[in-house]
Amino acid sequence: MVWKRWAALGLSLALLLGLTACGQEPQPAESPEPETPAVEAPAPTTADPSLTDLRTTLAEKDSPWAIAFLGDLSQGSSPEDLLAETNYPETYPFLTDITGDQVVTYEGTEVYCVVPQDENASLTVQTCICGEDGQPIPQETIYQGDGQPVILVCNVSDIIPNLLVTVTAPGGSPVSYAPGLSLCDGSVALPADSAIYDFSLYPDAPKGNTDTDFLGSWTATVTQEGREVLCQLDFQSDGTMTYRVGYPDSEWMDVLEGTFYVIETSSQYPVGSVLFEMTSTMDKSPFWGVFSLENSGSALTVTHISGDSLLYGFDGQAITLTAR
C-alpha cells in the first residue's frame, strides 16, 4: 500500500506546482459596485434677450460697439437710481444686471452704457485730457475687461470729455471714442463717420420758439471788473456770426468768427436757445457757448446758459445789446 501513498503525494505536489507556474492565487469573487445616481449638469447661463437682440443689431449694422446716454446723476444718486426713473429697464432689461466692477465711476455726472458687439472683445476705459487739436489724449487705465457691457459715470465739462473708451474685437482693430453730448441737441456727439451705434432713448422734444429774429448787428458797452468793455455781435442769414470785443476808442482785443445754431430738439438745453461756435482770429482758440436770445425790437438780451461766456466772469449772466 506504500505505492498508493506515494501516488497521492505526487498528485498533490503536481497540483501545487501547477498553481505556482500560473503565478496566481485564488481570488475571492468581486461584489458589484453600487450605482452612482446621475447628476444633472447646470443649465448654461444665457444672455438677456434684450442684450442678444442689441448685439444682433450691431452685427447687422457692422458696428463694433454701441453706446447710450442714460441721463445725468443728481446729487447723492446712483446709476441704479437713475435707471429706475427712466424707460431703459423696460426696453433694455440687461442694464439692471450691470453691477460691481462693470460700473466705472469717474469725475462727473453724465451716465453712459457701452456694449461691445462681440462678447469676446476687449474693452478698455482710460482717463483722458484734451489735446491742442481737440483730440483726447489717453492717461490712466481705470478699467480693462472682456466684451461685457459697462456703465460709465464721467464728464464734469459740457464740452471736454474725460474718459476714452476703446473696444477691440478678436482679430480686429481698436475703435475708440470719448463719450460726450452734442451742444446742439443733447444727443451723443458721435463723429459723422463713426461706426459706433447709438441706442439711446431720447425723449420727445418740446415745441418752442426757434425763430431767428435776432439777425443783424448788435452792440453793448458793459462794465467788467470796473472798466468799460465794448461788445459787438453780428448774425448773418447764412448762419455765420462774428463777435468783437475791446475797449471803447481802441482796437478790438479779439475778433471771433464762426456759426450759430438754433437748438430745435434737446434733452439738455431749452428749445430755441442758440449755440455759438466760433474761433478767435487772433490766437485760434475755440469758443463754444449756449445762450438764450430775446429780441424786444430795439434791444437783444443775450443770457449765458452753458459753455463759454461772452466775457470773463459773466457765466450765467445777461448782456443787453442795442441794434446798430
pLDDT category at 191 given cuts 50, 70, 90 is: confident
Is 187 or 185 the better-scoring residue by pLDDT?
A: 187
Give the pLDDT of residue 207: 52
pLDDT of residue 47: 80
Among the listed ranges 15-29, 47-61, 188-202, which one has the minimum average pLDDT value?
15-29
pLDDT at 291: 95
- How much of the chain exceeds pLDDT 90, in percent? 68
Asked if residue 20 has pLDDT above 50, the reply is no
For residue 308, count other CB atoms closer than 10 A to its CB.
Answer: 22
Task: Give the least confident one: 8-12, 159-163, 260-264.
Answer: 8-12
- For residue 45, what pLDDT band results from cuts at 50, 70 and 90? low
Give residue 26's pLDDT.
Answer: 47
One-character DSSP codes across 133-185: TS-EEEEEEEEEESS--EEEEE-SSSS---EEEEEE-TTS--EEE---B-TTT
Question: Sorting pLDDT into bands at 50, 70 and 90, what band is 270?
Answer: confident
Per-residue pLDDT for 3 more than 50?
A: no
291 within 8 A of 302, measured Cβ to Cβ: yes
Percent of the chain with pLDDT over 70: 83
**φ/ψ of residue 209, rounded to 5:** -80, 115
Predicted TM-score of the model (pTM): 0.63
- Range in 93-97, 154-158, 255-259, 298-302 with the lowest mean pLDDT: 154-158
Which pLDDT score, from 0 to 100, does residue 117 have?
97
Nearest to 162 by CA among 134, 128, 135: 128
Q: Which residue has the higher pLDDT, 153 or 158?
A: 153
Average pLDDT, integer, range 131-146: 93
User: What is the H or E stretch that residue 59 is in?
Assistant: helix 49-61
Sheet holding 163-168, edge to edge: 136-145, 122-130, 163-168, 175-177
For residues 262 and 272, the answer to whether their CB atoms sit within 8 Å is yes
State the residue for C-alpha cell 464740452. Answer: 159
In the 8-state DSSP scheme, what is residue 188?
Answer: B
Q: Which residue has the higher pLDDT, 266 or 65?
A: 65
The yes-or-no verdict on residue 201 having pLDDT over 80 is yes
Question: Where does the chain show beta strands of DSSP type E?
Answer: 65-72, 103-105, 110-116, 122-130, 136-145, 150-154, 163-168, 175-177, 197-198, 216-224, 227-235, 240-246, 252-262, 274-280, 286-295, 299-307, 318-323
Measured between alpha carbons, how far is 159 from 309 in angstroms, rounded to an integer? 13
State the pLDDT at residue 134: 82
* CA–CA dist 200, 70 (Å, integer): 7
Contact 276, 159 (CB under 8 A): no
